[in-house]
Structure 1
Amino acid sequence: MTKKLIIVLNLFLLSGVILTTNAQVNELWKKDLTGTVIWQQVTSFGNYFVCTSTEFAAFNPETGDKLWSNSEFANIPNQQVEEMSGSALISINLGQTIYLVDPYSGAVKFNSTKAGISELKTKQVLYKANGILAAGKNTNGDPLMLMVDMTNGEIVWKIEEKFGRIVTLNELSNKELLIVTLFKNYKINSETGDIIWKNSTSKEAEQLDNMGAFGSLLAGVAEQAVSDEDFVINFYKHPEKDIFIIAAENKSESQTSSGQTSISYSNNYTAFNLEDGSRLWNAPIEMNGQLGTLAFYKDGIIVLPNDGNRTKINFFNLQTAEGLWGKKGRGIAIKGGVYKHLKTESGFLLMSQSGDKNYLNFLDPDQGIITFDKPVKIDGEVIATVESAKGILYVTTAEVNVLNPTSGELVFDKSIQTSPSLTQQQDNKLYVFDIKEGVIKSIDIDAATANNISNEGLRFEGKEGPNNLELREKGIFISSEQNVAMFDYNGTKIFQNYFEAPREPGLKRALLYAQAARAAYISANSYYAAGVLQTAAPDVKEEDAFSGAVVEGFGMVYEELGDAASDFAKQSFQQANARFKATAQGRDFMIVFGKVEKDNALFKVNKDSGEIEGTINLGKEKEPVYAVDDITGQIFQKTAEMQITSFKL
């Protein structure tokens, strides 16, 4: 009797799975259009666009209502439309003109031809000034820099002097803008365009400036010679003083006697007074190697370059630029080039790299010494760290371990092989999937101990390995693109399922784009919801106000602006913040590609059961026209030549 009951139940469950597999998800809305649907896309901000043979239009993704349309951009290829970096604005390249379009109203906020710019080199939203800064060359080939009002799209001011190539710009306030070019720094009144001050970036640049027309000619020749090169230049603002530092990397090539090309690097640092733009030092600080990192410490700066196994680090007096560490102030040697540092209570944890080898070292800045007898060799680049009484737990791109910063020894005899996306913190525990052993482990951060949760090795099908771990109420959910599994917190496997994927690569393009957008928000959230591990938020915010606001998740720039923020800024920050919070909260399903008989399909897979809860049939096309919002769980499908349908998963 018992056996029969089990068989009946299994048949019932199997039948339920089949019914669920073929169940269509709820249709949210359907829209008939006036032209043939060519492509559609959801941006990282959640704006939804459809391009047809008659128009380029924005729709409310929740209701399907058309927000605006523009027939001028009909039929435009997808490759000519992109999100503007650090902004919700849409950049459209049509012929010789670049348009910047407000995604909320459809208003063209910038037209390069109308602005008189024939060659656009720089474009950036100035959130505090409520404008767009654009720079390039006019129709005569002369330099032109201008700001456009975000409210009406009108030009507020122009600067037509030979400012040179812009390498970085920063909003100091809602009225002041700092612009760094190859040869000069500018502090500009962002309301009027008046130049508050301008100064040469170096003595050499100053000499060119003093040579008049001939100097301008030489500067132009020098700039043209490097017009196609990518510059590595970092901007550092002192956290307390009106001082900023520009760090630049220089690359040199030479021919060896055997005819091979030898490449060497050097980097230099110049400090400026923010009030008048004057240089603080008679000459820049020069170091060998590529740019690494820099840390402000007490009355100086710690310069941490990347010169491989020849790297030397040093501490410089901020007023005199005098080197204070090592023999004759020439610095102290360290294994590998520094790419990241972490400030701790007793010093700095330094992360360095030489070739494909990575190292950890500990710096005592007060004594100017490396405290470890020898560097600690690790696998992968350090992504996140958390301090505890037992040491510093670190997560790299390849492993997890705990470092004793006093002795320089690792607590675990063997590091746990994993990746950041296969780790998640809850209170004082870090859950980790061990790739080598195929088991889930729990690390007690306070005690620096690790224990197996599961003992059964997990192996995925389809030549895939796990790439994501998520803590849920019922257990630990582990997944890849086509595989899902769950273990309870005692280590018992609850389920494991595999969904065979279609082979056509074009099918996944829209889903992968959406997953990348979701991953960006998750990365901004840090790998750990608890937020106790170090993240890149301060560094990102320093370089880009909007991205920093998204990373921190609170719309800090919007809060600073208050009522002065434009409608565009308010909508941008609020929309990004809402999506940021949505990714932090997690959700109960994932989207997986699969097959229904001979048709391609998107499956809604429940994370707590591993079963398919709904299906969206994409037909037999190798490249179906669909779009995915992987944050809200919404699918937009071309269901007829002139029709789009939205489904809510």
Structure 2
Amino acid sequence: MKAQFKYICNIVWVSLIIAIHPMNAQQSIGPEHRYELGSKINEMTLTLGGVLVVATNDGLVGIKPSEEHPVFTFNNFGRLKPEETEFIPGSPYVIVSQGAGSKLAGIAKTKRAVIDYVSGRVIFNSEEDQWNQVYTCNVILPQNKLIISGIQKVGDKFEKMTPKVAVYDLSSSTLDYSFFLDKPGRVGMAKDFSVTGTPLLLKEFLIIPTAQGLIAKSHDGKELWTAKIKNVSKMIADASENEIYGFEAVNAGKNTRIHKIDKNGKALWDDDRKIKGTVSKFEILPQGLAVVSNKSSGGDTSVFATKNESEIAFLSAASGEDLWDKAPKTKGYVQHFYVMEDGILFGIQSGGINKISFDGNPLFKKPLKTGENILIMAHSPQGLIYITSEDANIVNLATGESVWKKPLKYKNSASVASTFDTENDRYLIAAANKIYAIDANSGDVSELTQIKFEEKEAANTIDIRGDNIFLAASQNMMLLGKEGKEIYHSYHKAPGKSGFMKVVGGVVAAASLVATASTALAAGANNNGIGANNLRNYNDYGKEAKRASEMFASISDASFKMMSQRFKATSATKDAQFILTKIGKNVGLVKVNKDTGNIEKEIILNNKKPEYKVDDYGGYLFYQATDKSIFTYNLNE
């Protein structure tokens, strides 16, 4: 499970009271639902679909706050370690694993299960399907298939020892087809047919990368061809599925070999292409192949050690040869990478933006010098806007020349927030405890106001609400008039350092949730590409939510449709913010109105270090009331 979604829970029994203050009158209500799990809670993960998946001493439990009872309980494998649970990005699926998987039959039993946490269905269970060992378990989207490789204990004594591949349909939980990777009972020296990477599922056939090479099988299991390209970890096909690229890690994973074959397995390059580092971006373009690879010293401090930086190459699709006489210097890792109509635009994490034509010539008059950590690169009506931890500017996307008179510079800030004020035709940037206003037409910069948030917080949110400007951080909220005059400042003290850290991990910000959904879907749209390539328009959060909803809806499955509806709905944080704070002598969560700064709801948690999750998009609080129970609260009412 990802670190920002993890909790290690150890809490005594407490009771909760919600205090609502309509017109200064107080009304107390209890939790909407109480879930007694019957086993000690170890972790809580709030999923993309709004379901809380709880790891207990007995297994996994799924809690959908709109339902009175858990949506699923999976205790088949007993207690699970954190690394034994994998949430598949951009999907309603969680893969449960036990045992590492051996390449040799009969060594150690492995278990795998795939759960649809939205519907609560156990789609695949290796024990029920008699898989004694599972080498690989891959969810393939948007085809919505599951590909399993390993040893299945069915058939005669030879079949029970022969490596096998099976393809399951995730929507119907049924087996599509399966086949052996080797001939059962074959006489001769044993060969290692372990699967080395993610299989490539094409319209007409499936390619499996194995330790013996690539094996192509039709959907009915008939072998079509083999290719002696071993230890491939990933494959990508072009849009026609006639040309296929395979990536092989070499030198202990430090470098990569790229192979190219046709749909019949025939090599299309005279030799494979060696790339320094590991490939992080790969784009098949009409002009050639754009490749970004990341090199690492591995901690070696020697002057001869590899530099920690990216390399950008542009290869001929026909031959694999480098089309550029001289690759652009990066002097750091590529943080942003976009393919434009006239060339490739990229930004470096340590600072710097450049643009190169497809024939290798610089398109910017000179590389842009920027601050480090480029937070935003996006289209704007005036040009390319970039915002870093130290500066911001808009430049001509064709030439790199500054549209603003000069870059806006500010003190290095861990948090920088920005928005566009349409009514006043200006950009607003909150950084280093100040708000800067930049005229969209002239580029003139003015300091609108200074911000002083309690606890030395920096604003991480800025938004336009009517004629006013809204700012927020974890414990502070502020509303300003369009000239920067304060209308209100609402501050709610953090309940100590430990409590403050919980609010950081406990709340899934709506904007971050949409970004996670859209990025995961874009990266896995064909499950073949490496990374996502889309220079977005500035300030288009609503469009991103719509895009995520449409991409979920495009997959013909009920759970994806439910996730689509979730992102189609208005975020629960549109008009309010949830803050963990002290309420009297207690700790609790307050729902604060963004327009007034008034508290609309209080949830008192009679515990100084509460363990909880807030679905900031759906508007629900999941609270661990005891070491064996979860209470849920509807924050939308």
Common fold, TM-score beyond 0.5?
yes
Aligned residues: 562
2:228 to 200, 206, 210: 200
Amino acid at match of 1:543: N
When normalised by structure 2's length, the TM-score is: 0.73
* Structure 2: stretches of 5+ with no match in the other structure: 1-18, 100-109, 154-159, 183-191, 296-306, 533-543
CA offsets 1:508-527 (integer angstroms, 9 cap, x no match) = 64x5455347454231477x
Partner of 2:194: 164
Once the two structures are TM-superposed, the CA of residue 457 in structure 1 deviates from its matched residue by: 0.6
Matches within 5 A, 1:59-458: 59-65=63-69, 67=71, 69=73, 83-92=87-96, 97-104=111-118, 106-118=120-132, 120-126=134-140, 131-136=145-150, 143-150=163-170, 151-152=172-173, 156-161=177-182, 162-173=192-203, 176-181=205-210, 184-190=213-219, 192-201=220-229, 205=230, 235-239=235-239, 242-248=242-248, 250-251=250-251, 266-273=255-262, 275-291=263-279, 293-305=281-293, 315-326=314-325, 331-336=326-331, 339=334, 340-352=336-348, 357-366=350-359, 368-372=360-364, 374-387=366-379, 390-396=382-388, 398-405=390-397, 408-410=400-402, 411-417=404-410, 422-425=417-420, 431-436=427-432, 438-442=434-438, 444=440, 447=441, 449-452=443-446, 455-458=448-451
Q: 3-state SS of the aligned residue for 1:580? A: helix
Partner of 1:613: 600
Which range is displaced more, 275-284 or 38-47?
38-47
Once the two structures are TM-superposed, the CA of residue 281 in structure 1 deviates from its matched residue by: 0.5
Q: 2:313 and 2:237 mapped to 1: Cα distance?
A: 19
**Contact conserved, 1:555 with 1:574, CA < 8 A, in 2?**
no
Once the two structures are TM-superposed, the CA of residue 619 in structure 1 deviates from its matched residue by: 0.4
Q: 2:116 and 2:237 mapped to 1: Cα distance?
A: 31
Q: 1:290 and 1:49 mapped to 2: Cα distance?
A: 33
Q: 2:33 and 2:251 mapped to 1: Cα distance?
A: 56
**Contact conserved, 1:57 with 1:66, CA < 8 A, in 2?**
yes
Q: 1:512 and 1:73 mapped to 2: Cα distance?
A: 32
Distance 1:269 1:126, change over 3 A: closer
Once the two structures are TM-superposed, the CA of residue 601 in structure 1 deviates from its matched residue by: 0.8
Matches within 5 A, 1:455-474: 455-473=448-466
Partner of 1:589: 576
Distance 1:541 1:419, change over 3 A: farther
Once the two structures are TM-superposed, the CA of residue 616 in structure 1 deviates from its matched residue by: 0.8
* Structure 1: stretches of 5+ with no match in the other structure: 1-15, 206-222, 224-230, 254-264, 527-534
Once the two structures are TM-superposed, the CA of residue 480 in structure 1 deviates from its matched residue by: 1.4
Which range is displaced more, 460-469 or 35-44?
35-44
**Contact conserved, 1:524 with 1:551, CA < 8 A, in 2?**
no
**Contact conserved, 1:137 with 1:143, CA < 8 A, in 2?**
yes
Q: 1:416 and 1:177 mapped to 2: Cα distance?
A: 53
**Contact conserved, 1:24 with 1:615, CA < 8 A, in 2?**
no
Once the two structures are TM-superposed, the CA of residue 159 in structure 1 deviates from its matched residue by: 3.2
**Contact conserved, 2:33 with 2:68, CA < 8 A, in 1?**
yes
Amino acid at match of 2:245: I
CA offsets 1:268-288 (integer angstroms, 9 cap, x no match) = 432222x21322101122344
Amino acid at match of 1:336: K
Once the two structures are TM-superposed, the CA of residue 378 in structure 1 deviates from its matched residue by: 1.4
Q: 3-state SS of the aligned residue for 2:138? A: strand
Q: 3-state SS of the aligned residue for 1:363? A: strand
Could you say which structure has the higher helix fraction?
A: 1
Distance 1:504 1:585, change over 3 A: closer
Q: 1:78 and 1:337 mapped to 2: Cα distance?
A: 32
Amino acid at match of 1:618: L
Partner of 2:104: none
Once the two structures are TM-superposed, the CA of residue 185 in structure 1 deviates from its matched residue by: 3.2
Q: 1:577 and 1:619 mapped to 2: Cα distance?
A: 36
Amino acid at match of 2:456: K
Which range is displaced more, 73-82 or 27-36?
73-82
Once the two structures are TM-superposed, the CA of residue 30 in structure 1 deviates from its matched residue by: 3.9
When normalised by structure 1's length, the TM-score is: 0.72
Distance 1:392 1:537, change over 3 A: farther
Q: Percent identity?
A: 21
Once the two structures are TM-superposed, the CA of residue 582 in structure 1 deviates from its matched residue by: 3.8
Distance 1:423 1:127, change over 3 A: same
Amino acid at match of 1:125: V
**Contact conserved, 1:507 with 1:623, CA < 8 A, in 2?**
no
Once the two structures are TM-superposed, the CA of residue 462 in structure 1 deviates from its matched residue by: 1.3
Partner of 2:5: none
Distance 1:268 1:348, change over 3 A: same
Q: 3-state SS of the aligned residue for 1:280? A: coil
